Amino acid sequence: MARDPNSGRPPARAPRGDAPRPKPRPSKPNGDRPSGSSGKPYRANADARPNRSDDDRREAKRGPARPHHKSASSDKRASDDRNPRGPKRHGDRGPARRPDTRRDRNQDRKPARSDNRNQDRDQPKPDSPPKPSGLLARHLALLTTEAVIRDRLSLDRALPQLLTDTHFAALDARDKAFARLLAMTVLRRHADLERVVGQFLEKPLAADAIRIRLILLAGAAELTILTVAPHAAISNAVELTRLSPKTAHFDRLANAILRRVSERGAQLLADMSDPASNIPPWMIAGWQQAYGEESAARIAEASLSEAALDLTLKDPATAEKWAGELEAIILPTGTLRRAAGGRIENLPGYDAGAWWVQDAGAALPAQILAPTSGERVLDLCAAPGGKTAQLVSRGADVTAVDMSLDRMQRLSTNLERLSLDAHTASSDATTWRGGEPFDRILIDAPCSATGTIRRHPDILHLKREGDTRHLIDVQNRLLRNAATQLRPGGTLVYCTCTLEPAECEERIEAFLANPGARHVTYARKPITPDEVGGQTGWITPAGDLRTFPYDLPREEPGLSGLDGFYAARLIRTS
């Protein structure tokens, strides 16, 4: 049999008709692969489908077909096209096939797969080439939302951890702020954005396709809520899909869907938006039961708005001065308020320690406790220290207790910047004992924090209905531990930043009925409107404080609302 003079092999049989295509290898299960029996990548529906046939898609994925028999010069050109080190045709997106010869196969052998096959995140490697800042900021936002939704980390924990990466740490303050804003917007309007994107999908994405879903939601958020230029939002979203092999095959889908969102998404969001749908059903049901359907709807709507920047002054007498320098307004409660945005450290008065960041609602419990100079005050669950700073600035001798070492470090750092001093203890506040009785005690109890969704939208994804049972137990133990550490005639203020009555009024009623110690009794001392800026609507019939996220409405955009807070003031009667 005659052999090929170039390879020494028998000549290949000439194909009859079209050359048969090799069967594609079965794909491995992929968390971001679309559901369905076909296993094909998702396509947009008729309104959003890219102009690409199934054959084109398979051809691009497989790469150029291998010739059966060509001349030596043709074989060399084909080998060059297939060799990653050789010339590559413009537009060839398919993976290169293996070279013909054994020597070339050894040279081009792929490196061994990493043993860490279960790692889902594509965290940037220290030696990877830097990405454009716009893409890097969006990658940071993507990983942050993924850490919240998939890994159940709080936003305030996930973002600092990611910023330890050298590439993310190199972002300027503006890009970091944008990444945080984008992540918070996706977390806050998750259900609304899902409905908008869903209008352009032929069928839903698989339940475990978290990464591509979040890329689409972030792109939709940029286009419909943050009003980012369409070309920037869409191109960066497409590039995000290409950063991970789990989502690379969705690049054309992302492009097609987001182009339709840029054209029709804003109007769809306005027509389809339902604030209550972004709130967990158990949470909205609890609000309806406690406050009525109308108030629950107002709470839901206000909770989805971005919170303003509130500042508490170390010296309230300087309010007019700092309001002018900070371009802020003075709220009835004495808090300074300005629109959110910008770097906190660059604002006038920061380096001088003239103020600290604290929501107007969070500032009320310390005002209600109202210690005088020289009084011994116990601040339980004190970190990160806003209320501690209020108490110290009034001249009180404060002992701050919190079991979190990291948060207590933040408290100490904040007090140092403000040139304020307090005794601190990193300990469990439910068991800590301070020796001599205190004149006043403030308990800022751990809670479900449903009154702070404006500032912490990750609560919508992290809290579960059953969490309340554990929190109630902690709250009861805090009250009983404090009960015997207050001198007779002393004042105790119990506060939470939740809207759930079981963690608020019900805890006070239970404590008044049974303080947990013999011969110890407490009674309510009603709070008056004059103590909270004249806001009569914030005082409950029992004389407690209750604020809602929709309170303090203003015409200026971005300056309305405050955290939903509860506080009760008690006096030890024996």
Q: Which tokens hold the place of 335?
A: 């808090």
Report yes or no on 29 lying in a domain. no
Count how many residues are written for the chain.
574
Q: Which tokens hold the place of 550?
A: 């929709």
238 and 338 in one domain? no
Q: Give the single-character DSSP code of 572.
A: E
492 and 344 in one domain? yes
State residue 129's pLDDT score: 45
494 and 385 in one domain? yes
Q: What is the CATH number of the domain that holds 347?
A: 3.40.50.150
Answer with the one of 245, 273, 301 that is the final residue of a domain.
Answer: 273
Report yes or no on 186 lying in a domain. yes
State residue 43's pLDDT score: 41
The model's pTM:
0.77
221 and 339 in one domain? no
Report yes or no on 356 lying in a domain. yes
Report yes or no on 124 lying in a domain. no
Handedness of CA 90, 91, 93, 97 (dihedral sign): negative
Helix (H, G, I), strand (E, B) or coil at 433: coil
313 and 255 in one domain? no
255 and 186 in one domain? yes
315 and 269 in one domain? no
State residue 272's pLDDT score: 87
119: Cβ contacts below 8 Å, ≥ 6 apart:
none
- The pLDDT profile of the chain, 574 residues, written as one tens digit per residue, is 444 444 444 444 444 444 444 444 444 444 443 343 343 443 444 343 344 444 444 444 444 444 444 444 444 444 444 444 444 444 444 444 444 444 344 444 444 444 444 444 444 333 344 467 799 999 999 999 999 999 999 999 999 999 999 989 999 999 999 999 999 999 999 999 999 999 999 999 998 899 999 999 999 999 999 999 999 999 999 999 999 999 999 999 999 999 999 999 999 999 988 899 999 999 999 999 999 999 999 999 999 999 999 999 999 999 999 999 999 999 999 999 999 988 899 999 999 999 999 999 999 999 999 999 999 999 999 999 999 999 999 999 999 999 999 999 999 999 999 999 999 999 999 999 998 999 999 999 999 999 999 999 999 999 999 899 999 999 999 999 999 999 999 999 999 999 999 999 999 999 999 998 889 999 999 999 999 999 999 999 999 999 999 999 998 889 999 999 999 999 999 9
State residue 341's pLDDT score: 86
Distance CA 64, CA 351 (A): 63
Report yes or no on 2 lying in a domain. no
Answer with the one of 223, 255, 273 that is the final residue of a domain.
Answer: 273
Q: Which tokens hold the place of 14?
A: 């000439």
Answer with the one of 254, 273, 292 that is the final residue of a domain.
Answer: 273
**Domain range enclosing 428:** 309-572
Distance CA 152, CA 139 (A): 18
| Number of independent structural domains in the chain | 2
State residue 187's pLDDT score: 98
524 and 451 in one domain? yes
503 and 389 in one domain? yes
- 24 contacts 57 by C-beta, under 8 angstroms: no
State residue 131's pLDDT score: 67
Report yes or no on 175 lying in a domain. yes
Cα 561–564–570 angle (5° rounding)?
130
418 and 476 in one domain? yes
Cα–chain-centroid distance for residue 4? 65
Angle, to 10 degrees, between the axis of helix 190-198 and the axis of helix 210-224?
90
**Out of 381, 447, 495, 497, which one is annotated catalytic?**
497
Report yes or no on 373 lying in a domain. yes
335: Cβ contacts below 8 Å, ≥ 6 apart:
310, 311, 312, 358, 360, 363
Q: Which tokens hold the place of 8?
A: 């020494």
Q: What is the CATH number of the domain that holds 230?
A: 1.10.940.10
Q: In Å, what is the CA distance from 194 to each residue of 43, 56, 211, 397?
A: 17, 29, 14, 51
Residue 447: active-site member? no
245 and 332 in one domain? no
Report yes or no on 455 lying in a domain. yes
261 and 372 in one domain? no
